[in-house]
Structure 1
Amino acid sequence: MDLLKGCILSVVLIILYWFLWRRRNKRVLMLATQLPGPTALPILGNALMFMTKPEEQLKKIAALLEQYGDYIRFWLGPDLVIVIKDPNDIRCLLTSNKMNQKGPAYDYMTPFIGKGILTGGPKWRVYRKIANPSYNKKSIETFKDVFNEEAEALTNVLKRRDYNIFNVYFDVLQCTTRSVCRTLMGLSKDDIAELKHLDEVIHETQNIYSLIFIKMTRWWLQIPFIYWLTGNYRKQLYYQRIVDKLITEIIEKRRKSLSNEENYGMSVVDRFILNGLSENEIKLESFALFTTSQEASAKIASGVLLFLAHLPEWQSKVYEEIVQVMDDDSLSEDQIRGLQNLDMVYKEVLRYLSIAALIQRTVEEDVTISNGKFTLPSGTVVAIPIHEVHRDSRFWDEPLKIKPERFHPENQKNRDPNAFIPFSLGAMDCLGRVYATTLIKTIVIRVLRHVELSAEGKLEDLDLHVAISVKFAKGYNLRVRPRTNK
């Protein structure tokens, strides 16, 4: 009887809370009705619709966009989520000073990288301002020799490979990791060799991202007791521990060397130290920049190599272009930018394999979209499905096919430029976009000069894994063979 009374009381309290919440949020509810979307249940909203496998949730959003158009709203409990696919509104929102806060999905990354440059938070502008000089053109010019040296080392590894198919990602990841350690982290080769936990962190990085994604997309894992009971909390603590040990090692090495360094060659870790950040802030921001720089660059560079392996005619074009331009062992930044065929392939990889499948922003002040037709109230979560924008047939001819020529200057004239947003836009765009582009293209140039690439089957038939980012589900599998025509 007591149990029955308790259940009845709980139901009454929930219903009461629901009515009070609706009364307090009358304006938000009214504005939400202006936007199309599925019918929401009391209290739960549309949460049941998304209680599916994590990899199916973005497909649900894609289906809703197909059904309702460029603007859809749904409720996750009391949270209003607006998905927007119109390119012009995307640009307006991402560059608006009313949207300079990340969405709640980024909170699941904070155990590893805190509330900073990547995830947003009260001090993200401060952190970004401190880090920015390490990513400007002057700094990247000083990184050129390191990029070429590490790309050459990767090429030598690939030349020793037999002609069997293998996943090139792991070799590329070693290259991008060492490049990031020697540039952004400010470490020497000897320093890198002494890092006890580097290989362990590299090995577990994909598992860290997977853990973040499943917690982000499985509501029951957001209940602390269940998260602990399933063993995921224990995994998180292990990952946090090895990350902390690695970054502590890096910071200790930089503190010892800092007094002998010129400001011109200062690493991003040095900048955090000298600007008086706390030890925890330095660790979190340093790891955020470390992992996003080496891991994302490796995926994109591997994607470019795989595209070229599957597209022999484009591989020939890019190779011939490199040979014509490259008159010594390295290319200047201007020469790299002038490699038009390589740039087309690179951009097609960014389109097909979005660095971020979906990004979120929180509305800090009411803002209108669709030429004033809809008003997004303060507190609304805006979701921008970059993966879907990059595959919208209104902007992309045969979007499911791989066609680097779509980025030829002549073919871009009539396409909405806002339909291609690989690095986001606005004040919170990708800090490392120029750094990554230079590193990735240097890797491809070096590898292609000395190695021929090949692969089996069709690119479009390879399964994609769409989660935090978009990647090939079974890796970046190809063959390599040393070139005979130098």
Structure 2
Amino acid sequence: MGMFQLICFFCGGFSLKETSMGQKSGNNEIKEKYLGIIEGFSAIVMERFLKPWLRIKWIFNLSRLGQLSRSYAAVADAFYYQVIKERRELFQQEKEKNANQSAFEKLPNGGLDQDDPIDAPRRPAFLDTLLKTAEENPELTDQVIKDEVSLFMLAGHDTTAFTFAAFLYLIAKHPEHQQLVVDELHQVFGDSNRPCTSNDFAQLKYLDCCIKETLRMYTNTPLMLRSIPEDLQAGDFTLPKGVTVLLNVHAAHHNPDIYPDPESFKPERFLPENSIGRHPYAFVPFSAGPRNCIGQKFAMYELRVVLANLLRWFRFSVSDPSAPLETPTLLIVLKFKNGARLIVSRRSNIS
């Protein structure tokens, strides 16, 4: 993982951790270890995918990868259970202090700052919602809560981190598009340093186009597996019930019949007037249907907030804009094999 993507990985992880579990980042060793094992888990899953014999549980458990997987799981579980314990204690303390008011409502904004400008007042963190539900439903054990939170966390770490890195890499290689985004940001924010609000995002249409074009060119999960619940007719072929289908989303997003010149960065593809008639499943970076990504709205929200702020304050460039695009490698989620090397400079209009 390149240094810039590593920074994106940790920033995205801390942001997701704060929102899903209501916990701010700290120097706790177990938190740092937890963030560090996410990529390790991805490598293990990919290894099992490529080596069929490792899919046999007892063989995997006896292998070096099985031992490594268990050690990673132990660190992750320790982190989750520690956070659950801390949040439950806070929940109970607030409940005792405010016997006549819901402890859920009195939690300090799900762990976020009161002066956080994004859509205040805040909704409680995902973990707080689970803890409140657990009070009324004893079947919602700590293990069930841990499983729900871990799914949210594991699915959102390196996916968002890679998209951050890919967006800034593409925008650095295409300064003309970067300038269009900056001009749009200036129209909305002027020279002020005021923070973003959700009302601003409706006006940042070209930023959205650039994010979507990044997700098209560098779909962070380019392959998806789906089980067929019933016989499915696909052209001249019948896919029988129960088979697993590998969906090549990358190929769909690079289909020249839908996206002419698919290897070129053209955010204007996603302007409303250029999207008329395009099949709704021609662009599925978060999958679609009942098994789509549960965090897609959060991911898009996070991308808009972070990227808008970065481009307001910093200029991104590359040493050789004419160099071929970096080809990422697949490790469940795409990675830049040698990193995405960017030149970052502070914008002169920011004090």
TM-score under structure 1 length normalisation = 0.61
Once residues 447 and 367 of structure 1 are traced to their aligned partners in structure 2, the CA distance between those partners, rounded to angstroms, is: 46
**Aligned residue among 328, 332, 339 for 2:197:** 332
Give the AA of the match of 1:343. Answer: D
| Cross-structure match for 2:117 | none
Q: 2:254 aligns to what SS in structure 1?
A: coil
Aligned residue runs from structure 1 range 74-89, under 5 A: none
Give the AA of the match of 2:250. Answer: H
| Cross-structure match for 2:50 | 217
Aligned residue runs from structure 1 range 276-287, under 5 A: 276=134, 277-287=140-150
* Deviation for aligned residue 1:402: 2.1
| Cross-structure match for 1:70 | none
Aligned residue runs from structure 1 range 67-106, under 5 A: none
Once residues 55 and 296 of structure 2 are traced to their aligned partners in structure 1, the CA distance between those partners, rounded to angstroms, is: 32
Once residues 423 and 241 of structure 1 are traced to their aligned partners in structure 2, the CA distance between those partners, rounded to angstroms, is: 29
| Cross-structure match for 2:256 | 393
Segments of 5+ residues of structure 2 without an aligned counterpart are 95-102, 106-121, 135-139
CA contact (8 A) 2:181 2:206 kept: yes
Does 2:342 align with 1:485? no
Once residues 262 and 225 of structure 1 are traced to their aligned partners in structure 2, the CA distance between those partners, rounded to angstroms, is: 44
Once residues 207 and 324 of structure 2 are traced to their aligned partners in structure 1, the CA distance between those partners, rounded to angstroms, is: 20
| Cross-structure match for 1:465 | 329
| Cross-structure match for 2:97 | none
Does 2:184 align with 1:348? no
Sort the Cα spacing of 1:460 and 1:399 in 2 relative to 1 into closer, same or farther, 3 A: farther
| Cross-structure match for 1:274 | 132
| Cross-structure match for 1:318 | 181
What's the CA shift string for 1:191-220, capped at 9, x where partnerless? x32643111121221111011111122112
Does 2:276 align with 1:413? yes
Give the AA of the match of 1:463. Answer: T
**Aligned residue among 5, 14, 17 for 1:178:** 14
CA contact (8 A) 1:195 1:246 kept: no
Q: 2:26 aligns to what SS in structure 1?
A: helix
Give the AA of the match of 1:288. Answer: L
**Aligned residue among 261, 265, 288 for 1:402:** 265
Q: 1:461 aligns to what SS in structure 2?
A: coil
Give the AA of the match of 1:232. Answer: L
* Deviation for aligned residue 1:454: 0.9
Does 2:246 align with 1:383? yes
* Deviation for aligned residue 1:225: 5.7
Give the AA of the match of 2:4. Answer: V
**Aligned residue among 249, 254, 267 for 2:87:** 254
**Aligned residue among 195, 198, 202 for 2:31:** 198
Q: 1:281 aligns to what SS in structure 2?
A: helix
What's the CA shift string for 1:228-250, capped at 9, x where partnerless? 55411111111011101111111
TM-score under structure 2 length normalisation = 0.83
- Whichever of the two has the greater Rg, that structure is 1
CA contact (8 A) 2:216 2:285 kept: yes
| Cross-structure match for 2:100 | none
The Cα RMSD (Å) is: 2.2
Sort the Cα spacing of 1:349 and 1:459 in 2 relative to 1 into closer, same or farther, 3 A: farther
| Cross-structure match for 1:240 | 73
CA contact (8 A) 1:358 1:386 kept: yes
Once residues 258 and 76 of structure 2 are traced to their aligned partners in structure 1, the CA distance between those partners, rounded to angstroms, is: 41
Once residues 133 and 323 of structure 2 are traced to their aligned partners in structure 1, the CA distance between those partners, rounded to angstroms, is: 47
Segments of 5+ residues of structure 1 without an aligned counterpart are 1-165
| Cross-structure match for 1:22 | none
CA contact (8 A) 1:167 1:478 kept: no
Once residues 293 and 230 of structure 1 are traced to their aligned partners in structure 2, the CA distance between those partners, rounded to angstroms, is: 28
Aligned residue runs from structure 1 range 131-210, under 5 A: 167-187=3-23, 189=24, 192-193=25-26, 195-210=28-43
Once residues 295 and 256 of structure 1 are traced to their aligned partners in structure 2, the CA distance between those partners, rounded to angstroms, is: 30
**Aligned residue among 426, 444, 457 for 2:289:** 426
Give the AA of the match of 1:208. Answer: F
Size of the alignment, in residue pairs? Answer: 316
What's the CA shift string for 1:50-104, capped at 9, x where partnerless? xxxxxxxxxxxxxxxxxxxxxxxxxxxxxxxxxxxxxxxxxxxxxxxxxxxxxxx
